[in-house]
Amino acid sequence: MRKKELAKEVIERLKKEYPDAGCSLEYDQAWKLLVSVRLAAQCTDARVNIVVEKLYEKFPDVKALAEAPVEEIEEIVRPCGLGKSKARDISACMKILWEQYGGNVPEDFDALLKLPGVGRKSANLIMGDVFGKPAIVTDTHCIRLANRIGLVDGIKEPKKVEMALWKIIPPEEGNDLCHRFVYHGREVCTARTKPYCDRCCLNDVCKKMGVE
């Protein structure tokens, strides 16, 4: 099966398996997703969702967070790990949003990449979830599943995986597919245990199962 055909099959099957899959980081404004994505590095989304509640109680908007002492931000976000660097990035990012964009998140991929603590994965998530633009979020689940299934061949570098997937995945499907990869990666195609191939909806098309 050619990679484009495989991608189409994977998209359709995961749609049926996880019809309501979406971002597991909770937010109601774009800037809050920026904060949560930075905190989610090497931390579970569930913990981030708890920690940000306390952060927003004290600093409820972009201006408040931009003006907040970095030490106070660090004290609150410490449970997410890497507190010092995350607090520094969040503070610097909110300052730029407030001073250069009037408190709004820019709707431009390159502008997002210039924000402190924002890489391609985070920028794609913002573009897809907030602005509804084509996006491919190459997190650990996406990279692992794309390789196992056979959508990419032995590529582990996030940007290279992203570029390879752009060639075979319809632009309008990328963002939702990556969310479904997260669900499937947590529930079935797991990383820390042996994957549950016997109950996988992709087992008859998956490269790991010996299907070429």
Which class does domain 30-131 fall in?
mainly alpha
pLDDT-based confidence at 2, cuts 50/70/90?
A: very high
The pLDDT score that the predictor gives to residue 210 is: 78
At 208, the pLDDT band (50, 70, 90 cuts) reads confident
Q: What is the mean pLDDT of the segment spanning 85-96?
A: 98
Q: Which residues are catalytic?
A: 121, 139
What is the rounded CA–CA span in Å between residue 31 and residue 167?
Answer: 30
78 and 95 Cβ atoms separated by less than 8 Å: no
d(CA 142, CA 20): 18
Q: Write the pLDDT tens digit of every residue in 17-29.
A: 999 999 999 999 9
Per-residue model confidence as pLDDT tens digits over 150-169: 999 999 999 999 999 999 99
Q: Would you say 122 and 98 are in contact if contact means Cβ atoms under 8 Å apart?
A: no
Give 55-84 pLDDT, tens digit per residue. Answer: 999 999 999 999 999 999 999 999 999 999
Is 200 one of the annotated binding-site residues?
yes
Q: Distance between CA 2 and CA 212 in Å, rounded? A: 9
- In 83-199 the beta strands, taken as DSSP E runs, fall at none
206: annotated binding-site residue? yes
pLDDT of residue 211: 66
Distance of alpha carbon 49 from alpha carbon 92, whole angstroms: 21
For 28-54, how does the pLDDT look when each residue is reduced to its tens digit (9 = 90+)? 999 999 999 999 999 999 999 999 999
Is 43 labeled as ligand-binding?
no
- Tell whether residue 93 is among the known ligand binding residues: no
HEC assignment per residue over 34-77: HHHHHHCCCCCHHHHHHHHHHHHHHCCCHHHHHHCCHHHHHHHH
Q: What percentage of the chain has pLDDT greater than the value 70?
A: 99
Residue range 3-22+136-199 forms a domain whose CATH class is mainly alpha
Same fold, 3-22+136-199 and 30-131: no
- Domain borders along the chain are 3-22+136-199, 30-131
